[in-house]
């Protein structure tokens, strides 16, 4: 059986820890293979071959005039007109502000479809379906809805947002006149769009995730589902309409970004997978690998590993469909965007799979058809003239970054991580084919990093031991001194330190550099605490600064000037 596992690209051991035999059997059965029989399909790739036709798009102007942009979490944006959560109209306004300040892109969290019937399931990295959009980001006032009286707290109340928005949007849908644009959108969306709308309609009757539905509704092509669809055509059409409005408003935001002078515009984020009980897993059929979830092996940030509870794509299923599901998903991201960040880009090569119900330490890596996936990604990138950035953090296999470089996929370089025993890497040591930034949504803001708040939180929530935390605090003390030296900052003035680190990022040769909006205008508390599900308000903190005040905020003004002077547009 081990020879068969090797044939299909399964890792058999990690140093002194062998992968359990039952794990290997589970994955092999999911691939449609008898664990005790000879192989029935092509082997997994042994090398990271990059086909000549796999290169992604790169704007020629970036080589001579590197760009910069701003990152934020869309939900955290606060404005006078939005309904308790940042929305696509806020995004358009923020894109205009950043574009006029000299930025070339505005990057946001994944805006994939979640579960409108279960708004408390709010992680943008655990979507129901990556091919479609989250209707809670619709700006209801742009379709004629009047904003109700709502609380305006420091955390997004997703339940309250859904209770306010969905009935208002349903009333707007009921009152809407027939629109040829909507009909054309539905026709182009085809079966996949219709099934997602059907899933949403079913979820409002039977509950959020399909694994909890009555058995007859588990089969999207079964008689119970067909009968439901016939009897609930108007409800399904409402969810189709939500997707159309969301798509139209996202397009307006991209138009605003480009009109403000941005060379790239919207920079979207692709989650690594989809929820086990979501729309994609329900309708995915043989493109989903059964019996396993996606996660990460044990590491310094989580000594027990992580189980992300995401469905894994099936290499055999994707190959059988000529990678059309992957192609359609990438196409959906780039329809209204000029750049795409691929979360956990190593998934193009391998994923860490955990048998359902087992601990992460019992998982194993499975290799994917790397060349075919790169070829598909590159084709869509070139057709849409969109940049691709690969989030290559954590365990990065040998040769992976070189392969990304050959495919014109930018590396993702976080200043916090670019260090050695002697200190932080100098700007000149950063690669050109990369995006440079200070931190990301899984890391603290700069002020919180300096205070060591992330170390305290990981210990408080049991992610690491007190002994490991003590070591981390000692190292952070060294990091603070080393980073100040690297960026040329003296003293402890927080504004001068912030300016210095952004000047440092701007001086790298990386084709693009990113500024985290939360470092400038808040919120300071962490966006997400990886490994914690219920003990921390992940994906909820809101900015204390209204979008209307950002253009004149001192930290934004200073940082934009630093980036603009170092990275002027052509």
pLDDT digits (tens, 9 = 90+) for 9-18: 999 998 878 9
Q: Decide: pTM greater than 0.85.
A: yes
CB 497 within 8 A of CB 489: yes
How far are the Cα atoms of 26, 28, 37, 371 from residue 34, in angstroms, in the given order? Answer: 10, 7, 5, 26
- Inform me whether the pLDDT recorded for 302 exceeds 70: no
pLDDT of 509 reads 98
Query: How many CA atoms lie within 13 Å of 237's alpha carbon, on the beta-carbon side?
Result: 13
Residue 171 has pLDDT above 80, yes or no: yes
* Number of C-beta neighbours around residue 248 at 10 A: 17
Asked if the bond preceding 523 is cis, omega within 30° of 0, the reply is yes
Cα(141)–Cα(114) distance, integer angstroms: 22
What is residue 120's three-state secondary structure? coil
Cα–Cα distance list, 330 to 103, 206, 326, 400, 524 (Å): 24, 30, 6, 20, 32
How many of the other CB atoms lie within 10 Å of CB of 199? 29
Residue 201: other Cβ atoms inside 10 A: 23
Domain 55-279+333-346+370-566 has CATH 3.20.20.80: yes
Mean of the pLDDT values across residues 515-522? 98
Which of 457, 466, 437, 473 minimizes the C-alpha distance to 532? Answer: 457
* Mean pLDDT score, 204-225: 97
| pLDDT of 97 above 90 | yes
Q: For residue 534, what pLDDT band results from cuts at 50, 70 and 90? A: confident
The arithmetic mean of pLDDT across residues 234-253, rounded, is: 98
Confidence of residue 313 (pLDDT cuts 50, 70, 90): very high
pLDDT digit string (tens) for 473-516? 999 999 999 999 999 998 889 999 999 999 999 999 999 999 99
Q: What is the mean pLDDT of residues 178-200?
A: 97
With cut-offs at 50, 70 and 90, classify the pLDDT of residue 151: confident
> How many angstroms separate the CA atoms of 302 and 529, rounded?
11
Lowest mean pLDDT among 47-61, 287-301, 466-480, 505-519: 287-301
SS3 (DSSP) at 239: helix
Tell whether the model's pLDDT for residue 316 goes beyond 70. Answer: yes
* Per-residue confidence band for 530, with pLDDT thresholds at 50, 70 and 90: confident
Secondary structure, 3-state, 386-407: CEEEECCCCCCCCCHHHHHHHC
Looking at the predicted structure, is the pLDDT value of residue 563 above 90?
yes
Residue bearing tokens 């470089």: 405
Whether residue 300 is predicted with pLDDT greater than 80 in this model: the reply is no
Over pLDDT 90: what percentage of the chain?
92
Neighbours of 462 (CB within 10 A): 12
Q: What is the pLDDT of residue 521?
A: 98
Average pLDDT over residues 274-300: 92
Mean pLDDT of the chain: 96
Average pLDDT over residues 119-147: 97
For residue 412, the 8-state DSSP code is: E
At 340-399, the pLDDT tens digits run: 999 999 999 999 999 999 999 999 999 999 999 999 999 999 999 999 999 999 889 999
Closest listed residue to residue 322, CA positions, set 273, 373, 379: 373
pLDDT at 495: 96
pLDDT of residue 299 exceeding 80: no
In angstroms, the Cα distances linking 133 to 79, 136, 243, 246, 474 are 21, 9, 6, 7, 43
**Pairwise pLDDT comparison (296 vs 514), residue with the higher score:** 514
Tell me: the pLDDT tens digits for 73-84?
999 999 999 999
Please count the residues of the chain.
Answer: 570
Percent of the chain with pLDDT over 70: 99
């Amino acid at each position: 059986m081990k020879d068969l596992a090797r044939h299909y690209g399964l890792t058999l051991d990690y140093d002194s820890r062998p992968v359990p035999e039952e794990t290997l059997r589970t994955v092999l059965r999911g691939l449609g293979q008898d664990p005790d029989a000879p192989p029935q399909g092509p082997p997994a790739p042994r090398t990271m071959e990059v086909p000549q036709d796999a290169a992604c798009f790169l704007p020629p102007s970036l080589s001579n005039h590197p760009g910069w942009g701003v990152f934020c979490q869309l939900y955290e944006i606060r404005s006078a007109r939005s309904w308790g959560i940042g929305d696509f109209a806020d995004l358009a306004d923020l894109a205009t502000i950043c574009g006029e300040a000299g930025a070339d892109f505005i990057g946001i969290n994944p805006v994939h479809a979640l579960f409108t019937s279960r708004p408390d399931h709010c992680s943008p990295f655990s979507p129901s379906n990556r091919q479609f959009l989250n209707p809670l980001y619709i700006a209801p006032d742009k379709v004629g809805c009047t904003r109700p009286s709502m609380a305006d707290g420091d955390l997004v109340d997703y339940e309250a947002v859904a209770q306010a928005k969905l009935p208002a949007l349903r009333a707007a849908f009921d009152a809407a006149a027939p629109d040829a644009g909507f009909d054309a959108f539905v026709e182009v969306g085809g079966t996949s769009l219709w099934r997602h709308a059907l899933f949403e309609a079913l979820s409002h009757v039977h509950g959020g995730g399909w694994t909890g539905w009555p058995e007859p509704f588990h089969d999207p092509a079964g008689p119970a589902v067909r009968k439901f669809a016939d009897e609930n055509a108007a409800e399904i059409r409402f969810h189709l309409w939500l997707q159309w409005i969301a798509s139209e408003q996202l397009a307006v935001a991209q138009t605003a970004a480009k009109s403000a002078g941005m060379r790239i515009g919207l920079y979207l984020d692709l989650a690594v997978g989809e929820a086990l009980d979501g729309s994609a897993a329900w309708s995915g059929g043989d493109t989903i690998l059964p019996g396993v979830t996606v996660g990460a092996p044990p590491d310094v940030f989580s000594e027990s590993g992580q189980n992300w509870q995401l469905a894994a794509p099936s290499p055999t299923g994707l190959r059988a469909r000529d990678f059309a599901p992957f192609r359609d998903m990438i196409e959906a991201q780039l329809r209204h965007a000029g750049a795409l960040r691929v979360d956990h880009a190593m998934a193009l090569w391998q994923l860490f799979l955990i048998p359902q119900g087992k601990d992460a330490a019992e998982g194993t890596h499975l290799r994917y058809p790397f060349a075919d996936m790169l070829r598909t990604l590159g084709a869509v990138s070139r057709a849409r003239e969109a940049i691709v950035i690969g989030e290559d953090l954590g365990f990065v296999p040998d040769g992976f970054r070189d392969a990304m470089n050959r495919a014109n996929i930018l590396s993702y370089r976080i200043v916090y991580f670019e260090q050695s025993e002697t200190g932080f890497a100098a700007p000149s040591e950063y690669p050109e084919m990369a995006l440079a930034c200070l931190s990301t949504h899984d890391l603290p803001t700069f002020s919180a990093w300096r205070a060591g708040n992330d170390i305290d939180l990981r210990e408080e929530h049991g992610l690491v031991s007190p002994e490991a935390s003590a070591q981390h605090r000692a190292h952070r003390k060294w990091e603070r001194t080393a980073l100040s030296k690297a960026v040329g900052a003296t003293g402890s003035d927080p504004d001068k330190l912030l300016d210095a680190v952004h000047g440092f990022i701007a001086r790298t040769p990386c084709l693009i550099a990113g500024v985290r909006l939360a470092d400038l205008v808040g919120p300071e508390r962490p966006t997400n605490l990886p490994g914690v599900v219920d003990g921390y308000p992940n994906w909820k903190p809101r900015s204390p600064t209204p979008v209307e005040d950002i253009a004149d905020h001192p930290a934004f003004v200073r940082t934009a000037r630093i980036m603009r002077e170092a990275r002027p547009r052509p």
